[in-house]
Amino acid sequence: MFLLQAAVVQRVVGLTLMWALGGPSSPPGSWRAVARVESAEDRALLERVRGQSSDLPVVLEEEAGPSPEASPDGAWREAERVALRREARAVLWFVRDGAELRVFVAAPQTGHLFVRSARVEGTPETLTWSVGAEALALAVRSALRAVDAGEPLGEVVASPPPPVVVAPAPPPPVPVAVAAEDGAFVQVGLHAALDGYHPGGQQGLSLGAGWAGRVLRLRAQVLASLPVHLRDAYADVRLGQG
């Protein structure tokens, strides 16, 4: 009887605080947990879990659908898919078996599965149901708190997924030196020389020929330029290069 009264008082105080603060809010750094609900009783249990976990940095989201236990691939694989799709760190669901009610909290990132059961009789409108529901909600709160601390409760039922390893970028290709080929060559071009005697310097034609090998390179070059005429009061000079 004392346990029943304490549960009711705790529930009333929690609802009063939520109303006074203007409703629940998501604290900074919160993370997501998804609850798969199938019946009205599941939704009532989820509300009890929300009330008990209101001080944790977890956002409990509801997903309507059958229990993961009904999945052809098994409950754990279904929980992994839900966590991946909703980007959740924990997935929880409820299973009714006669007067016994079990709650499952899966943490796919670490492979842990937490299971607790309690005798929950009656309907959500009765006090006997509230006693068992509060006990399960407290157990779920402990499991969510452990997930938040990085130390999930329960047994390891699957190996955690391996960390994503980013392959290093391939090194840039090493430049390969290309050996020069043997052969003759011819060069034709123009040249200019500033000798300080004429403002325009000397301009002319450059002709060259030679042979290049892997070790030795021979070249002959001929420079021919136009003559430059320098004249003043004392001299008349023609400069040329050839």
The whole-number average pLDDT for the span 20-48 is: 79
Residue with tokens 């938040």: 148
Least confident of 52-56, 123-127, 223-227: 223-227
Question: Is the pLDDT score of 88 beyond 70?
Answer: yes
Q: Mean pLDDT over all residues of the chain?
A: 78
* Residues whose CB is less than 8 angstroms from the CB of residue 83 and which lie 6 or more positions away in sequence, other chains included: 34, 89, 90, 91, 106, 108, 109
Question: Is the pLDDT score of 118 beyond 80?
Answer: yes
Q: Could you report the per-residue pLDDT of 135-156, keeping only the tens digit for each?
A: 999 999 999 999 999 988 888 8
First to last CA, the chain: 124
pTM over cut 0.75:
no
The whole-number average pLDDT for the span 172-190 is: 68
Query: Which pair of tokens denotes residue 9?
Result: 């008082």
Question: Is the pLDDT score of 21 beyond 70?
Answer: no
- Following DSSP, what letter does each residue of 23-82 receive, concatenated? S----TT-EEEEEEE-SHHHHHHHHHHHHHTTTSSEEEEEEES--GGG-TT-HHHHHHHH
What confidence tier does 11 reach under pLDDT thresholds 50, 70, 90? low
At residue 17, the pLDDT reads 44
Residue with tokens 């070249």: 219
At residue 2, the pLDDT reads 42
| Residue 62 CB-density burial (10 A; 0-12 exposed, 13-18 middle, 19+ buried) | middle
At residue 16, the pLDDT reads 47
Question: Is the pLDDT score of 10 beyond 70?
Answer: no
